[in-house]
Structure 1
């Protein structure tokens, strides 16, 4: 009987979870810091051109 012995030790699993959580929180902080710039950049695409 051939049974695959796939095993991730608790240290590796813990590190992967920490990386995922840190990436999520880092992304949230980055978005909060640059929120006004992001919104103004997006609004510039949908702004109607001014007629003179």
Structure 2
């Protein structure tokens, strides 16, 4: 049986302050977008129950 050949990888990740701020803002924006989708779906459920959902 042979051994797996795993290369020696040493990742060097360099992120500047501006990069980290941009990543943080993008993460917050995506979270806000997902929350808005959840609220929209909950609103549609309420409209369905009330019988006011227009299709």
Q: Normalising by structure 2, what TM-score?
A: 0.50
> Which residue number in structure 2 is paired with residue 49 of structure 1?
none
Q: Normalising by structure 1, what TM-score?
A: 0.52
SS of match in other structure, 1:34: helix
Q: Which has the larger helix fraction?
A: 1
Equivalent pairs counted in the alignment come to 36
The Cα RMSD (Å) is: 2.2
**Contiguous gaps of at least 5 residues in structure 2:** 1-10, 46-55
> Which residue number in structure 1 is paired with residue 23 of structure 2?
16
**Contiguous gaps of at least 5 residues in structure 1:** 39-52
- Superposition misfits of 4+ residues, deviation over 4 angstroms: none
